[in-house]
Amino acid sequence: MAKGGYDGPLEKLDDCVWRIPKGYKSGMRVEGRIFADDRLMDQIRADQAPEQVANVAHLPGIQSASLAMPDIHWGYGFCIGGVCATDPEEDGVISPGGVGYDINCGVRLVRTNLMQDDVEGRIEALTNLLFGRIPAGVGKSGPYDFRGKDMKNLLRDGSKFLKTQGLATEGDLDCTEAGGGFDDADIEAVSQKAMERGKGQCGTLGSGNHFLEVQVVDEVVDEQAARAMGLVEGGIAVMIHSGSRGLGYQVCDDALRDMRKVPARYGIELPDRQLACAPVDSPEGRQYLGAMRAAANYAWANRQLLMWQTREVFEEFFGKNWEQLQMNLVYDVAHNIAKIEEHIVDGKPKRLCVHRKGATRAFPPGHRETPARYQQIGQPVIIPGDMGTASWVLAGQPASMERSFGSSCHGAGRVMSRTAAIKAAQGRRIDRELADQGIVARCRSWKGLAEEQPDAYKDVSLVVDVVHRAGLAKKVARLRPLGVVKG
């Protein structure tokens, strides 16, 4: 987290939105808007993330406002929880800092026909088996190795390539954002170093805030939407959170190095060099977008393979195949990505480049990109909390298109830096504290659990409540962790 708090202006527009006026800093092209309520504002003011919202408002071609979700906290260039849409026809730019290092980090939710009674007294054994089989941890490789032609196919097609290998189904693709792969990825824009880093990491969890959780649905708020998603109270589900691993990190690193001098080349003045950018339709902008899309395809494939391995573990543990267990994908959403989308601005349709960094899509009922099975309820929005409380599933609503370029928050949001969390955990056993709450946690290191302890995060219920009341997405169901696997 950044040191020092934000002492600039924040004007309350309504119960869920605050404004940073356009006149706050010279060069702001639009105002800043933060989705939050009074209960969250003290935490939001505690670091410099609102300053980053104001900085993003300087980007050429930015539309309507520089936005931030209620899980806002300090990030590289853009805050985590930042949303920014730029218009390529108005010299709009693409900024790697608006996507982040872990390109297409995202979350998928898998439902089952198991009930809590089916895992009663067995959750420790199940979690141990998952921990032993699911590759997790810094630099950890897995059972899949992609190189040469296979790596190029993976980067070009994402989960669609895995379907040709018998590692994904049509139903999996239907319930993955973008069908599990961008069609216009540019393999040639991905460096050899990035490919080398990714060859053995597809199908691995990684470290940091990535996790795999066995969860129980402990509250259903919207019966119709929950039914469409296959969620019932007391039902068992699995949530998987991971991204593009070392490959995506390298793609971002390469882009930031290559774009260092690009803003000056196009006469772009920025308040923060971490906002390095290029016009969307420039050679530099197209190269980054092509490489980012390839890394995003890798991330979708990574989560698909993590789910596939999870299905195999459940098959072994419960003695039934995954189809019998009805381990169907509810949905997979990206939350570190930039996409070309059509949105209405001032009554006119525009083709925009929408950056979502620590923010996820929340398309409403009837939207052409909302899967057919969710056309009546809206796209599922998956918001993980901390490993000691709960996560939420919501459904996108029409107001998201009007207020946030079809976006919602992506999680609870940190209130402690990793360093501060480790310091606060000295002399404690986070795994035992979780066990006292009935949660089995397995991690490769004490440090990994210390960094991700529940106290390091905002109260996810407050964050989700803002999203619900602002009309961006509606609450569907709350899921409580039973078993947690981390790197």
pLDDT of residue 487: 81
Taking the C-alpha atoms of residue 86 and residue 213, their distance in angstroms, rounded to an integer, is: 36
Contact 228, 376 (CB under 8 A): yes
Contact 239, 213 (CB under 8 A): yes
Contact 174, 283 (CB under 8 A): no
Mean per-residue pLDDT over the chain, rounded = 96
Single-letter amino acid, residue 481: P
Hey, is 110 helix, strand or coil?
Answer: strand
pLDDT in tens, the chain (487 residues): 566 899 999 999 999 999 999 999 999 999 999 999 999 999 999 999 999 999 999 999 999 999 999 999 999 999 999 999 999 999 999 999 999 999 999 999 999 999 999 999 999 999 999 999 999 988 778 899 999 999 999 999 999 999 999 999 999 999 999 999 999 999 999 999 999 999 999 999 999 899 999 999 999 999 999 999 999 999 999 999 999 999 999 999 999 999 999 999 999 999 999 999 999 999 999 999 999 999 999 999 999 999 999 999 999 999 999 999 999 999 999 999 999 999 999 999 999 999 999 999 999 999 999 999 999 999 999 999 999 999 999 999 999 999 999 999 999 999 998 899 999 999 999 999 999 999 999 998 888 899 999 999 999 999 999 999 999 999 999 999 999 999 8
Catalytic residues: 410
Span between the terminal Cα atoms of the chain, in Å = 22
For residue 397, CA distances in Å to 133, 348, 372, 393 come to: 38, 20, 16, 13
pLDDT of residue 2: 62
* Residue 283: exposure state from Cβ atoms within 10 A (0-12, 13-18, ≥19): exposed
Report CA 169 to chain centroid distance, whole Å: 23
pLDDT of residue 444: 87
pLDDT of residue 445: 86
Taking the C-alpha atoms of residue 421 and residue 457, their distance in angstroms, rounded to an integer, is: 10
Taking the C-alpha atoms of residue 311 and residue 315, their distance in angstroms, rounded to an integer, is: 6
Hey, is 273 helix, strand or coil?
Answer: helix
**Predicted confidence (pLDDT) per residue in 297-344, tens digit:** 999 999 999 999 999 999 999 999 999 999 999 999 999 999 999 999
The CATH architecture assigned to 11-135+205-243+272-280+303-486 reads Alpha-Beta Complex (3.90)
Phi, then psi, of 112 in degrees rounded to 5: -140, 170
Taking the C-alpha atoms of residue 460 and residue 413, their distance in angstroms, rounded to an integer, is: 8
Alpha helices in 105-240 (DSSP H): 116-119, 123-133, 149-157, 159-164, 170-174, 192-198, 223-229
**Predicted confidence (pLDDT) per residue in 357-397, tens digit:** 999 999 999 999 999 999 999 999 999 999 999 999 999 99
Q: Token pair for residue 248?
A: 């995506």
pLDDT of residue 206: 93
Taking the C-alpha atoms of residue 322 and residue 312, their distance in angstroms, rounded to an integer, is: 7
Question: What one-character DSSP code corresponds to residue 457?
Answer: B
Q: Does pTM surpass 0.95?
A: yes
pLDDT of residue 160: 97
